[in-house]
Structure 1
Amino acid sequence: MKSINGNNRVYSQSTYDYISSGTPSYKVINQAQNTSSSNIARNLARYEHLDVWCGSDRKQYIKPRNKFVLIHGEVVTPIQIGNYPYFYRLDVVSQSSNVTSNTHIKKTAFTTVSESEFKSKSPRLCGEYYVYDHNADGLQDIVSHKGSLVTLISESGRELWKTSAIKQLTTTVKFNGLTQKSIASMSYDNRGMLLSQTTQSSNYGSTLIGAKSLFTTISI
């Protein structure tokens, strides 16, 4: 609350909505069906990041993320130090859900595919997976989070940024009996870097959002 000239007062209230409340939704387990699939998963465990790509055929693909280092100077230059042109398709044989533990278990075969086949599915980046033997049967599985639901928050550190990333900021200002509302919406990449912010506002005394707009993009 601010005072203007000692008489009129401005009332301002802000509401924050975050990408994630910190409560896990569900855990996906792609359970290896055989030793061959387990060996593929074991090899994938060597890489720091395993990106998940969703194809037009409604299947998921995995590719180890290429590795870069940043060379700092007058201009920061990314230099690629690791190129990993390896592609794998997740072929789900059957699946089930455990409501109690909020877990989706997919019995899956991991299949090697060519780069051309991968690109022919017009894939889009849709997440990140990890290698983890979730049921201790000696076969390496590919999962969305390591550990149980009890340790899900602490085990999924790469996703922790979502709990403090603002998705939408709503601000309501009242002055001299008139009200103005503005809504700022933010978008991020899968690393948690802010990509853009769109702010739309109403005029004072109006509830119509969009009378004023500002779109900002962030260069990375």
Structure 2
Amino acid sequence: MDWTWYLFGFKGRINRAKYWLSGLVVLSFMMIFVALVQLALTIDLVAHAMGTAAGHGKASFAIGLDDIYSALDPAAWQALSFAKLPMLLVRTIGLVLLLWIFLATSIKRLHDRDRSAWWMLPFFAAPQLFNHFSDQLPESDFMMIPGAIALVLMLWGFVELYFLRGTKWTNRYGADPLGKEQMRVRSERARLRATTAWSQDSEIEMVPHKSGPPPAMRVKPMA
């Protein structure tokens, strides 16, 4: 398997098994990233034995779409300090890597369902955006409606990508990744050809030659 295309390419199709595998890959990368962050914090603790620096913090496993929306949140930028800038850069690099893998594999799985990449907006972007900024929205019974819509869209996307089989035919994004190719529309003539043995008589029609002069040279009776 081409791992570069599998993890970072946006063209083609992948089946359910490979999409589940991509989740394990993302989780593995996340654990490695957090281990590196924890190592950096440990080194910082040793360098500042008195514990006065910011190195006594803890590494966080919370790396996800919420971090992207935090970049759009003005409150997050107001709380940013210069001391946190190196850790923020490391966290951003890890986030970009994991997000790229998530988008690439999710889009190829949508292609397997014969859906375009724009379905990422209702399935993931819109629900996550609502959940992140829900605390800043006014509290009212009316807000339960968009909350319910966001939940339904998120569940729909989860079922589509993780549980439903892709198209069995070659769609606009490529062939069936399972290799069980079927024609979407088969004409009656194609069906007969597929189920009937080949015969030379059915392909070549031999017309017997009739002896006699051409019609223009025949003599009329009683002439």
Q: If the TM-score is normalised by the length of the shorter chain, which range does it land in? A: under 0.3
| TM, length-normalised to structure 1 | 0.21
| TM, length-normalised to structure 2 | 0.21
Does 1 or 2 have the higher relative contact order (CA < 8 Å, sep 6+)?
2
- The structure with the largest helix share of the pair is 2
